[in-house]
Each structure stands twice: as C-alpha cells, then as structure tokens.
Chain A
C-alpha cells in the first residue's frame, strides 16, 4: 500500500501533497497543544512498536499469515490526533530509511494511511463506544479506506488496470481488511487481559446520528472512489467525463494548468516546472499559515530554544 515515486502522475501527487502536508502540520499543532511533553517519547516509542509488531506473524489459515498495520490500534490507545502523527512519523521513516514508499508520494501515503486510515478506524470505535464490534470494524475500515484510496490514486494516475485485476485486488483488500480487524481485536483483548487501562474509552457521544452518518459517509466514500474510477485512462479522461471531480481537480490544478499553457512548446519541461512550482506554492502557503497561526497565538509558542 506504500506507493513509491514514479507511479503517481504530477496532478495526483501534487494535489495529495497539497492536502496532506498542511493537514498534518495542523494536526501536529493541535497534538502539541493538547499534550504535554511526556507524550513525545511515548508517541515515538509506540511508532517503533508498530514496526516491531509487524514482525509478528498472525496465522490466518491455509498456511498464510498476516501482520498488523496499526493505524486503528494506535488511534484506540493514543487518540486519533496522536495516532495520525505517529503514523506520519512511521511513513516518513519508511520512505526515508527503508525506501518503502516515495518521497513525493509521501503526501498521498500520509493521506491514505495516517489521515483517512486513522479517521476511518476511529469512527466506528467511537460510535460503538469501544465495544468489541467497534474495535473489529475500526481495524477493517481503516484498512479499506487506505487501500481504496491508494488504488484510486493509482487509477487516476493512469496506471492501467484491467477489470479482472481490479476485481482481484478489491477481493484481496476485503480479505486483508478482515485480517486487520481480527488482529486488532485479538491484540486489544490480549491487552485487556495483560494489563487493562490502555484503551481510551471514547466519551459518550451525543450526536450519535451524526457520527453514524459520518461513518457511513467514510465507508461509502471508500466504495464510491473505487466505483467512480474504473477508467484507467488517466486523469485527463476522468476530468472530461465526470462532473464534480473535474471541477475539484481543475480548481486545484488551475495555477499549474495555466502555467502549462504558457510553456506549451515544451510540454515535458512544463510538467516538471508545474510540479516544482506547485511544490513551492504548497511550501510557502504552509509557511504563511504557520506565520498567521503563530501571530494569532503568541502564548502558544514556547519552542524557541
């Protein structure tokens, strides 16, 4: 599920970077404000735990075995904001140290696994107030959301995928989602038996209907993304043929698209430039947002050492 560099097209990875990087910066700010500094070592070590726990093989019958992915388990024990940060740290470490997932594709991977995966895992858990079914569904949803998004991004990038292979991969997703749910539930039960109190019980949710709706929306979005993208001809065709998607895409890519028009004599150069300029824009927008946030809350800045 870790998408390497070279697989996503420029609009796709640039858009995902533009969404994921500011989102993570914002979550990091929130997490930093909410937790005192004793959470930093805890979050780092629990990230290392996920790496180590992936070495433990879970037999799932027929001689095959699965292993923990971890986003849902982290959100049950650390809370969703901290879980997002830990998953981001894991993904960045995997991309840098282990060449597992690309650097430009980091935004896409972070969005799939550290944001969508964690949210999709936490919602059923919060909705069912930490019941066993919530734990199982949390593990499942988290994997389904991440995998469906990864597949959709590859399809949007024009990686061709015949219907047969698409069906096989969706089947594999469902199986691995059930495995992740079962493993997460098994570990949670073992934890409760060894030393209770690690799970954060979500507070009684007031707007349960709202939460149910959001959960359903996330589940449907995962499915919808898949159903909406069996056009393996790349983003151009997709933009031509679908309504809303094209709108969003053109909105997000418009400064870049303009640029491409101006230098249309050398389309490949234009694409590279569009990518670079897009990254620069994202970078400076992030810096600007940070500046604004810092200025409005001077009391929060205590990190100048």
Chain B
C-alpha cells in the first residue's frame, strides 16, 4: 500500500528528516508558489527545481525512482485536463498543466516522505493552525487504516457469501455502509472511554518536543533564497 510505504520513508534519520517540520512546510510552500507561476518561458527553472527535488530525495536517502513514480499519482487528473487543453488548441497550456501538477505533487510527496505524521502535526501547530482541527486530523490518520481494514474485511465476507461484488445490490451496499457507520461510531466511543481512563483531556500529548534550531532557520533562509533566486535569475 502506497501510504504504508510513505510512512516507512518518513521514519528516516537523514539531515532533511531532522529539520523542524515547520521549516520543511515553509520551504515547500515557497517552492509550490514558485512552481505555480512557472510559464512556458521559464521551463529551465522547472528543470532546475526537478533537479533540486531529486537531490533532496537523495540527501534524504529515499528511493528516488519510487518517489518519482509516486508523484505520478497526479498525472491521471493532469493528463485529463491537458487533453482538454490540447483539444482547445493550446498545447503549451497542456504541457504546463502537466509539468506544474507533477512538480507540485513531487514537492508535497518529498515533504510527507521526510516528515513523520506526528511531527507534521507539531509543525502545523507551531505555525498556529487551529489545534482542534489538528486533533481531529490526528485521530483520522490513526484510524484510517483500521477502518479501511474493517471495510475490506466486510467486503471479503460479502464476496465469500454472495459470489461477486457486482451482484451486490444498492440496498445491500447501503446496509454495509450503515453497519460500518455504526461500528465506527461505537469504536470512537470505546476509544474515547479508553483514552479518558488514561488521562485524556482533549489533547494528544507530543512524544517529543521539537525545537526550531539555528539549523532550521538556515535551512528555510537558504531554501527561500535559492528557490526565489532561481525563479528570478532563469
């Protein structure tokens, strides 16, 4: 599963993994803004950004090819719209949609592959994102795999009884979704009781506190200067 692979990558210990999550988020946003404004006249900059992203992936000791192919998840959507642009007689626009979409997806994938989810949440909190929303996100992320597993088990059970999933009628599918809903709700309440009994007061405590070190300041400044400088120079 793609997501499990990213999760494994994010547990590394490279120079990039060790940077504060907020620093990486800031650098990524700067890069995304510069990518968003790429035009057909500034294609070399796009190529340089690709090189920078690949170098970062190497520095983070990630499997470069797997990362490059992982970012192609955006391509179905991008190619679809590129096709529309082509039909409308705008091949340049079509190319730029694909290039910008792919580079942006690669940048975000690099961020998530070098930052473990709890650190990412801590980084967003450091940037003053609403704490309530972040708590919900943390629970969502934690139970995502559990509930997808449950849905999969229910599908297996239904397959083994009803033969093919295609024969499942709309009403039966709705019943399955309803059962999943009730089970999720009950699970949420059990989770809450268990957490309250362990001292939960509306906030998941962080395992380790990250500090925004001097190295992080240097990282953000260097990244900003390099990225915007390249955008201006080329």
Contact = CB atoms under 8 A, between A and B. Distances in A.
B132 A28 contact: yes
Contact of A58 (B6, B71, B101, B170): B170
Interface stretch (A34-42, A207-215, A220-228, A240-248): A34-42
Contacts, number: 287
Contacts of A13: 36
Contact of A4 (B39, B77, B176): B77
Nearest to A186: B174
Contacts of A187: 174, 177-178, 181
A68 interface: yes
5 contacts: A6-B35, A8-B36, A63-B166, A95-B108, A100-B73
DSSP class of A's interface residues: helix, strand, loop or mixed? helix
A231 to B, nearest CB: 13
A13 B71 CA distance: 21
A48 B147 contact: yes
B173 interface: yes
A99 B143 contact: no
B147 A52 contact: yes
A251 interface: no
Contact of B191 (A45, A47, A58, A190): A45
A53 B142 CA distance: 16
Interface residues of A, number: 89
A204 interface: no
Interface stretch (B11-19, B51-59, B84-92, B210-218): B84-92
Given A40-B132, A57-B173, A103 B108 contact: yes
Interface string B99-140: 111111100110110000100100000011011110111111
Nearest to B45: A268
A31 B132 contact: yes
A89 B97 contact: no
